[in-house]
């Protein structure tokens, strides 16, 4: 094995084609055995269900090299079960969880030369996804599906330290109450593109979405859940009235780390926009960045500034970040089952 000649610390968050990917086809009511292939192209009917009615779901996780040289993934069983939930909600045949785990291992093993070395800050991003494949013109679920996994090396999310970002309260909604906000479906992102382009044009890094029904409560951003630290130094995690927040694995892990490693009180509750000015720290959490600190929220010109400021992560956020990344990288003992060793 020899690592690819890649400048690991200077690659961005883009797509780089790798050697092998996994493909399994669903037809006549069952999944085939699946293969690893070098073919990175998909040939589809012009009328494929995914092209006409957006029947597609995905997952995102990463493989990385720990300090002692193992290649591991973080809690991939939770991605497997979340993808089953997404499939059921989208009337797609779930890909069996044990096969999901096996397919990820196969693709990572087949692309080991693309797993960034320890200390580079880069990781191998893993993208499992599934879509309706056969021709569908009347509105209904497809009968045939394709499940695929590819991997692509991605650069360190934060170059030169995690600088706090400024986010805005969006005038758009991300997910209707009791709709698809709690599953990982491409359609949730398609509808968010206009909102994120608008926010970027205005100079904001992300949109904070409120609950669509009352526009009172904080839900999440376009691709990350939100955490706050209150005046007593405890963790406050927004809950959704209408189950429209995506159940982030990073956020669920942060909650466990806060309780069991840092002894913090964790309040998972409804959080109103009106009260966030009283919080000391805010962060966005997801697989890519783990935690991105937020320095300021802009609510239609009114600035809500957190005590942690615009220079660095707040102290509690930093502790959470260091502990969780320490667990991931193998400096801190992980809870049972969190680190899945591939090599």
Ligand X SMILES: *Cc1c(COP(=O)(O)O)cnc(C)c1O
Give catalytic residue positions: 184
* Binding flag, residue 248, ligand X (CB under 6 A): yes
Q: How far is CA 86 from CA 59, 65, 79, 186, 204, in A?
A: 9, 29, 10, 11, 30
Q: Which stretch binds ligand X (CB under 6 A): 8-16, 33-41, 86-94, 222-230?
A: 222-230
Query: 145 pairs with which residues across the strands?
Result: 26, 132
Instruction: Decide if residue 223 touches ligand X (CB under 6 A).
Output: yes
Q: How many angstroms separate the CA atoms of 339 and 321, rounded?
A: 17
Residue nearer to ligand X on the CB measure, 248 or 292:
248
Closer residue to ligand X in complex, CB, 108/110: 108
CB of 312 to ligand X, least distance (A): 22
Residue 254 engages ligand X in binding (rule: CB under 6 A): no
Which of 205, 220, 255, 338 contacts ligand X by CB under 6 A? 220
Of 246 and 276, nearer to ligand X (C-beta) is 246
CA 136 to each of CA 95, 130, 146, 147, 299: distance values in angstroms, whole numbers, following the listed order: 21, 16, 15, 18, 43
Residue 250 touches ligand X, criterion: CB under 6 A: yes
Cβ of 300: how many Cβ atoms within 10 Å? Answer: 7
DSSP string, 127-154: EEEEEE-SB--SSS--S-EEEEEEEEEE
Asked whether position 154 contacts ligand X by CB under 6 A, the answer is: no
Closer of 126 and 236 to ligand X (Cβ): 126
Q: What is the DSSP string of 168-199?
A: EE-SS-SS-TTSSTTS-BHHHHHTTHHHHHHH
Told to check if 207 binds ligand X by CB under 6 A, we report no
**Smallest gap, in angstroms, from Cβ of residue 166 to ligand X?**
19
**In this structure, are residues 121 and 100 in contact, taking their beta carbons and an 8 Å threshold?**
no
Rule CB under 6 A: choose which of 18, 56, 225, 317 binds ligand X. 225
286 binds ligand X (CB under 6 A): yes
3-state secondary structure of 88: helix
Distance CA 292, CA 181 (A): 21
C-alpha–C-alpha distance, residues 145 and 27, integer Å = 7
The site for ligand X, by CB under 6 A, has a size of: 13
* H helix or E strand, kind and range, residue 322: helix 315-329
Distance between CA atoms of 155 and 8, rounded to whole angstroms?
Answer: 7
Tell me if 295 contacts ligand X by CB under 6 A. Answer: no
Q: Which x/- pattern over 48-77 shows residues binding ligand X (rule: CB under 6 A)?
A: ------------x-----------------
CB of 145 to ligand X, least distance (A): 20
Task: Kindly indicate which of the ranges 116-124, 216-224, 262-270, 308-316 contains the residues binding ligand X, using the contact rule CB under 6 A.
Answer: 216-224
- Of the pair 287, 328, the CB lying nearest ligand X is at 287
Q: How far is the CB of 222 from ligand X (least distance, A)?
A: 6
Residue 184 contacts ligand X per CB under 6 A: yes
Which one among 63, 246, 289, 320 touches ligand X, defined by CB under 6 A? Answer: 246
- CB-CB neighbours of 205 under 10 Å: 18
What residues make contact with ligand X under the rule CB under 6 A?
60, 184, 220, 223-225, 246, 248-251, 286-287
């Amino acid at each position: 094995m020899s690592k690819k000649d890649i400048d690991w610390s200077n690659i961005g968050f883009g797509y780089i084609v790798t050697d092998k990917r996994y493909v399994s086809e669903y037809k006549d009511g069952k999944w085939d055995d699946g293969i690893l292939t070098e073919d990175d192209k998909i040939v589809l009917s012009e009328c494929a269900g995914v092209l006409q009615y957006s029947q597609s779901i995905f997952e995102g996780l990463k493989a990385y090299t720990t300090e002692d040289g193992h290649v591991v993934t973080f809690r991939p069983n939770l991605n497997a079960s979340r993808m089953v939930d997404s499939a059921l909600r989208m009337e797609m045949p779930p890909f069996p969880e044990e096969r999901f785990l096996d397919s990820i291992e196969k693709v990572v093993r087949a692309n080991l030369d693309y797993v960034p070395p320890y200390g580079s800050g880069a990781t191998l991003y893993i993208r499992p996804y599934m879509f309706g494949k056969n021709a569908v013109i009347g509105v209904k679920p497809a009968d045939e599906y394709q499940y695929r996994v590819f991997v692509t090396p991605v650069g360190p999310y934060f170059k030169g330290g995690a600088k706090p970002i400024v986010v805005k309260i969006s005038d758009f909604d991300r997910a209707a109450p009791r709709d698809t906000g709690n599953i990982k479906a491409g359609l949730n992102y398609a509808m968010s593109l206009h909102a994120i382009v608008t926010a970027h044009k205005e100079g904001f890094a992300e949109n904070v979405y409120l609950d669509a029904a009352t526009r009172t409560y904080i839900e999440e951003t376009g691709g990350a859940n939100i955490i706050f630290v209150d005046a007593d130094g405890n963790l406050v995690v927004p809950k959704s009235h209408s189950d429209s927040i995506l159940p982030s694995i990073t956020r669920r892990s942060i909650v466990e780390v806060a309780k069991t490693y840092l002894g913090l009180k964790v309040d998972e509750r409804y959080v109103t926009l009106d009260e966030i000015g009283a919080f000391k720290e805010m962060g966005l959490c997801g697989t890519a960045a783990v935690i991105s600190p937020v320095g300021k929220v802009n609510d239609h010109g009114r600035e809500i500034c957190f005590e942690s400021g615009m220079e660095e992560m707040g102290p509690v956020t930093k502790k959470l970040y260091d502990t969780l990344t320490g667990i991931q990288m193998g400096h801190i003992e992980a809870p049972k089952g969190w680190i899945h060793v591939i090599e």
